[in-house]
Chains A and B, each alone.
Chain A
Amino acid sequence: MGTNAKEEGGVVIINLDGRLDLASGTALKEQIKGFFEQEKYSIHLNLSGVEFINSSGLGSLVSIMKVVRLKKGRLTLSNLASYVQEIFDITQLSHIFEIYAIEEEALNSYNTVSTS
């Protein structure tokens, strides 16, 4: 799994690709832990390049989500491939995570929330 991160308007944006499984999920958690240490709890994950996600990958996202919730931050996801969306639907995680069709829509939601 490859990842690259950037910051835009106070939101950390991470693009993921490849497989989100135990190894890459652990690496992702470590990467995000670095942002948490800098008190950055607004995280957006663009999953457009993720072609496969398994139980461990879901577990990583859930674990990141728990920290974000605890810190009253936000975790948003976008660009889910159909198979990934299917897993989110079956596990009902699509009701737990804030999922947007495209990254721009997700980032706009941060602006809307901060304005209001």
Chain B
Amino acid sequence: MTDGIERIGELLAQLQSPDFFEREEAVKNLGACDQDEAVAGLVTALEDPDLGIRELAADILAQMKSAIGAQLLIRFLGHEDIGTRNLASEILVKIGKTSVQPLVDNLVDDDYDIRKFIVDILGLIKDESAVGPLCERLWDNNINVAVSAAEALGEIGSPEAIPDLVKAFEQIEDARLQAIEALGKIGDPDTLEQLYNFLEADDPMIQYAVIEAIGHTGVMDSIERLIPLLDHEDTTIAEVSLMAIITISEANGRKLNQDLPLDRFVDYLFDGIKRKDKIITDFTLSSLSHWYGNNVVESVLDVLDSVDEEDSERFIDALSQMEASALDIMLQKFPQASPKAKIIIINILQKNIDEDIALKLVEFAFDEDPEVRAKIAWILGMSGNDEIIPTLHKLAQDEVGHVRSAAFRSLGWLCSEQNADFIFTGLDDPYPDVREAALGALIIVGGTQVTARLTADLYHESTERQRLAVTALGMIGETEVVEPLQKAVNHPEATIRKSALNSLSKINQDVNPDLLLVSLNDENSGVRKAAVSALMSIKGEAAVADIRFLLDDGDIWVRYHTINAIAETGCEQFGEYLRPYLNDDQDVIKIAATKALAQLGCHEALSDIRKLGQEKNEDLVQAVQEAVSLLEGAH
């Protein structure tokens, strides 16, 4: 112990060193001691000439949360230097509950500034044990202390303070506002009757505070008392009343079931949205489905420029609930809107798009902003109105690829095979997205005529057109595409042959598998693999006899693919075809064969598979373990 005290003595002496680093070291070391002397030393360091040392000491004291530290710090509340006073206050707040009793003990300090400081700190700590002593300070002979006490009681929010706050409101003229605000923060429904009485106050500032306090109680019934105030001649009283109603509604899960006369509050509400006031924004958005008009829509358009990405989605959802007449107003205002607002309006219209809106929107289809043009092109397609096809044709020739792409996509929605010729022009577009959009459109349109043109395209001079044609035919997937795809398995381009086989594999019906056999001998390994898949898909296990010769293909991946295809049949009888490949030169084939034989449930292969467990290849050994486990389990 003596050594400890000696050590602290040394550190306290070190605090007086002219060297910054020595003093810093001393503060850190004092922080590691838990004796009161060390705490006292840290408190003295709050007067160090260097800010860094002062802040370090403050941090350590805040972490130590020592009662002695709190007592000593209170003395600094009367320090001549304001910075030191503030620093002491901050530490006391951070120390929290441990500071409360020492602070309460000093609430009767002769210096009213110190009393006020203490009251403020207790309000920030928010510990309910301070409520009683703070209520006594409401009657402090210094009004600043009394006002601060009311504020602190509001911060703590304990209903225990209500009787004293009511009394303070009635008896202390200069603390009325703070007393009411405190009652508002406490928000206890039991205060309502008194708050209603206080509504009669002469001072408008008091009235505002009373209305806010009523709002904070969250009692739905009190809305009836507030609604008449929405027509009050004092605009601020009307606005504060609206805010109180909104607060109550919010506290009750937005259960406000009546329409409010909101026209007077357009500026107030939309300013709230611009300020990003969440409660006002939520309320306003929820009101828009039944509250609109020229001035509202104008305000909406005005505010759309200031909403961020997240709020923009909420606006779109809320505004899309507006009635058709409101959407009409929005369309009228469209030309004056900013590009950003236009996009949001179009997104709103998208949710309500029908033939009529589409026709009105056509007027704006050639907006100067390409983003707007693309967006309009996109939603016109959803309208189902084929009268706008000529507009889409023009947009499909726009100078911006993005716009052309949107137009072609929409044409797919609106065109039938009788008027789909134009879509083929998109297949030659220099911009890949436009070509893909045209392709998608043709797939949706489908039909005999489109199929015929795509079939011709299979032998187009452009390989890109060939690729697009075979893809489209495969995805159109109707009976009439089967014949051209079957012919395409003999196409000069390997990619087309492969794609045709893949598509036939998916279509599956009406396909003549005999016509695909030739592909098993294709010069291209990818085509051979596709042929294996197609035949297996179409003929099932009957295809095994056709494809088994590929188990000896020159390409390792064709062999691998064939093994897996046979395994997919699940027929044990094919195990004998695969067993020889357990001894293949290539590990990847041994692994495939091992897994396949397990999948087929080929128990005869079990001893051969076990032998592979001695191999060095870890993947093979793992495959063997799994296969053995599967086969033994099944057995």
Listed in ascending order, the chain A residues whose CB lies under 8 Å from chain B are 19, 21-22, 52-56, 58-59, 62, 66, 69-70, 72, 83, 87, 90-93, 96, 116
Contact = CB atoms under 8 A, between A and B. Distances in A.
Contact of A93 (B444, B507, B508): B444
Contact of A55 (B354, B477, B506, B508): B477
Most buried by A among B443, B471, B507: B443
- Chain B interface main SS type: helix
B469 to A, nearest CB: 14
Contact of B439 (A52, A90, A96): A90
A92 B317 CA distance: 23
Contact of B440 (A52, A53, A90): A90
A90 B443 contact: yes
A54 B451 CA distance: 13
A55 B443 contact: yes
Nearest to B471: A90
A55 B384 contact: no
Interface residues of B, number: 28
B436 A55 contact: no
B444 A55 contact: yes
B477 A62 contact: no
Interface of B: 317, 352-354, 382, 384, 409, 412-413, 436-437, 439-441, 443-447, 471, 475-478, 506-509
Given A70-B354, A116-B317, 13 more contacts: A21-B478, A52-B506, A52-B508, A54-B446, A54-B476, A54-B477, A55-B444, A58-B444, A62-B413, A87-B475, A90-B443, A91-B444, A92-B440
A8 B478 CA distance: 34
Given A62-B413, A90-B439, A92-B437, A55 B317 contact: no
A52 B443 contact: no
Most buried by A among B317, B441, B446, B507: B446
Given A54-B477, A55-B445, A116-B317, A91 B440 contact: yes
Contact of A87 (B354, B413, B441, B443): B443
Contacts of B412: 91
A19 to B, nearest CB: 8
A55 B476 contact: yes
A90 B476 contact: no
B483 to A, nearest CB: 15
B382 A96 contact: yes
